[in-house]
Amino acid sequence: MKNAIIGVVGSGVMGGGIAQMFAENGFQTMVWDTKEEFAVKGVANIRKRLDKSVEKGKLSTSDAEEIKGRIKIVKDLNDLASADLVVEAVIEDIETKRAIFNRLEKVLRPLAVLGTNTSSLSVTELAQNLSNPGRFLGIHFFNPPTKLELVELITPHALNPEALERAKDILSACGKTTVTVKDSPGFIVNRLLLPFINEAAKLVDEGVASPEEIDKAMCLGALHPAGPLQVADLIGLDVCRHILETLSRSLGSQMYKPAKSIVDLVDAGKLGRKSGQGFHSYPKG
């Protein structure tokens, strides 16, 4: 499957990470974003990450240059016509995503697979207006996609089994382990993880313990490799808030209402690692 061509729509934290992951695993990867400057910035960030890996001795200079050479910015969605798999990773807005899918349908070859990296929206709803819903599924990576092995494959009712197998084959060639999930709010990981994070944040709200003590307790007392608030900072507190609000609406439960500390931090622009401050501080470098 290494001769498959990959398209990635969106070049932010997740889109850029997904593009880098495919390129690192030998796939020619095309990157498109809603504005060309977004794609340029996203690919520049990929190059910086690769250069840092070279500096740390984790990657040779020649390997880094080969990976960079497999990533190409495209200016028009029509340029993705040769892709065998396209993964969408733009903002979590259903209308924005649907508009992109409708445009991609006119471009992609019949056997090309189209996936969305949505973390909270209904894959079935996203597919409603597609003329070929049989090739459309959720392909949910976890941050950072270059390191985390798991990918959730969300399977709406109309999905063609052959399209699912093609997606699995490509992801397997990248060393990923997949789990197949029915379309359901939060899928598996977020349905279980976000309430856990939210309860940890509620302990902060109630003054039960500091974020540092809460994370230490779960690492040492429950064998977690990272504490829930550290994980929240890694995901992005804005993303956590959005997923919790979506789960609350979808499942009709106040249990998922975001904790005050999450809301306050997001409102203050303290989004976690990506902003340098969340429940914990992350000095530059």
Residue 140: active-site member: yes
The three-class DSSP label of residue 107 is coil
Who's near 268: CB < 8 A, 6+ residues apart?
Answer: none
The closest of 25, 35, 22, 2 to 11, measured between CA atoms, is 35
Two tokens, residue 228 = 């829930």
- Catalytic residue selected from 117, 120, 122, 190: 190
- Catalytic residue selected from 11, 120, 152, 198: 152
User: Is residue 34 classed exposed, middle or buried when 0-12, 13-18 and 19+ CB atoms within 10 A define those classes?
Assistant: middle
Report how far residue 81's alpha carbon sits from residue 107's, in angstroms, rounded to the nearest whole number.
5
Residue-level length of the chain:
285
Residue 190: active-site member: yes
The closest of 140, 103, 143 to 121, measured between CA atoms, is 140
| Long-range CB contacts (within 8 A, 24+) of 38-47 | 38/11, 38/12, 39/11, 39/73, 39/74, 40/73, 41/11, 42/11, 42/12, 42/15, 42/16, 43/11, 43/16, 43/19, 43/71, 43/73, 45/16, 46/16, 46/19, 46/20, 46/71
Residue 152: active-site member: yes
- Catalytic residue selected from 119, 122, 143, 198: 119
Q: Which residue has the tokens 């396209």?
A: 86
Report how far residue 204's alpha carbon sits from residue 25's, in angstroms, rounded to the nearest whole number.
41
Element (H, E) at 157: none
- Catalytic residue selected from 140, 143, 198, 261: 140
Count of CB atoms situated within 10 Å of the CB of 157: 9
User: Catalytic residues, which ones?
Assistant: 119, 140, 152, 190
